[in-house]
Amino acid sequence: MNGDFTLFTPTKVVFGHDVETRAGEFVKAFGGTKVLIHYGGQSAVRSGLLARVEDSLKKENIPYVTLGGVVPNPRLEKVYEGVALCKANGVDFLLAVGGGSVIDSAKAIAYALAEPEHDVKELYEHTRAPKACYPLGVVLTLSASGSEMSDSSVISYEDKKRGVNSDLCRPKFALMDPALTKTLPAYQTAAGCADIMMHTMERYFVNGNRMELTDAIAEGLLKTVMHNALVLRDDPENYAARAEIMWAGSLSHNGLTGCGNDAGDWACHRLEHELGALYDVTHGAGLTAVWPAWARYVMKNCLHRFVRFAVNVMGVAPGATDEETAEKGIDALTAFFRSIGMPTNLKELGVSPTEDDFKLLAKNCAIAVGGKIGSAMPLYEKDMEAIYRAAKE
């Protein structure tokens, strides 16, 4: 509760037009001699992106192998497949060409390669902490996860979705060409914007110490994302708006928007992880589906922050009471999510949990967080179940 913090953002950011054609140059600069190009679906192939990245490696005479097929909520099986491929080919540098799923999968492979005597799954089970990680670089194609600068990797296996955080996996470089995101479906663009906002909001809705400077950055970032999400809804090819969202995505989750607060809340992310594991929903959409219910449930326990959010971020006129102001802020953000086509409850998300599902979701979430989670309000299993139920429709 004293405002101390550590920030480590070593990733070299190279941002702008056609930067993906410089991948080889940066792999070389950071010492890669044999590369795995890791990617997701066929769009990277069809668009010619993969060919441009491969050409840049050829230009530097850096040999590589490729592995596609990473899916949203990336699977541990694909990680193992990548590890085997890398070992067989002597890969010493991972190049993720994609969004959060691809980057997180590459991080998992990089962890596995650095400690080959262990099963990388243990990191996600939190039975072991990582001690080393192979170097990786990123060509970013989706603004959302912030994984291109973050210390986070989230992997799904069995019916679980689990994350591990360590500075070891922060990418060496991130090549960020906003133009690469122009062809995304509108739903993915909007879900990405929601995810970006939530990375800052998880750090914003906290009790305990806050820094003015961090609040100012967080509020500026949230307003920038909301403005440009609306621009992109109406004009998906707007490069400048794509650039604002892409850069906001990195800054939202590299640690900057949490400096001097006390660790963040993270309840919505953990509540969503269980939805993602059980129903394989889009992460950003899962977040907006639980946020309104979460906000109403915890609001009174962190009222000053909800009031500040309502006025400084959502621009609402203060109500007669702090609670009224806070509620107006929650209403305003809920309306914003709806305006960009994001769900604001589970029904809109397309998910209808059974009675047993509600219990299972809460139970799994409580296990995953070690009993409780949250700074705005500490949540236990019964709270989680109540929030899932309140988010029903």
Binding site for a second copy (CB under 8 A): 2-10, 12-17, 19, 211-213, 216-217, 219-221, 223-224, 227-228, 240, 243-244, 247-248, 251, 256, 259-260
- Residue among 103, 99, 108, 107 nearest 76 (CA): 108
Q: At 290, is the secondary structure helix, strand, or coil?
A: helix
For residues 81 and 67, the answer to whether their CB atoms sit within 8 Å is yes
State both tokens at 48.
């010619």
* Residue 117 half-sphere exposure toward CB, CA atoms < 13 A: 3
What single string gives the DSSP state of each residue in 305-342?
A: HHHHIIIIIS-PPP-SSHHHHHHHHHHHHHHHHHHTT-
> What three-state secondary structure class fits 359?
helix
CA atoms within 13 A on the CB side of 236: 12
Query: Are the C-beta atoms of residues 7 and 256 closer than 8 Å to each other?
Result: yes
Q: Which is nearer to a second copy, 6 or 61 (CB)?
A: 6
CB of 243 to a second copy, least distance (A): 6
> Looking at beta carbons only, is 219 or 272 nearer to a second copy?
219
Q: Which is nearer to a second copy, 65 or 168 (CB)?
A: 168
Q: Min. distance of Cβ 296 from a second copy in angstroms? A: 28
**Two structure tokens written together for 1:** 């509760």
Give the nearer residue to a second copy in terms of CB position, either 8 or 131: 8
Q: Which is nearer to a second copy, 103 or 248 (CB)?
A: 248
The closest of 144, 390, 99, 130 to 269, measured between CA atoms, is 144
- Closest CB 161 distance from a second copy, rounded Å: 29
Least distance between a second copy and beta carbon 201 (Å) = 16
Closest by Cα among 136, 109, 131 to 121: 109
For a second copy, which is the closer residue by CB, 227 or 347?
Answer: 227
User: CB 234 → a second copy: shortest distance, Å?
Assistant: 16
> What is the Cα–Cα distance from 350 to 345, expressed in whole angstroms?
9
Contacts of 141 (CB under 8 A, 6+ apart): 44, 49, 97, 98, 99, 180, 181
Q: How far is the CB of 196 from a second copy (least distance, A)?
A: 11
Q: CB 61 → a second copy: shortest distance, Å?
A: 22
| 46 versus 227: smaller Cβ distance to a second copy | 227
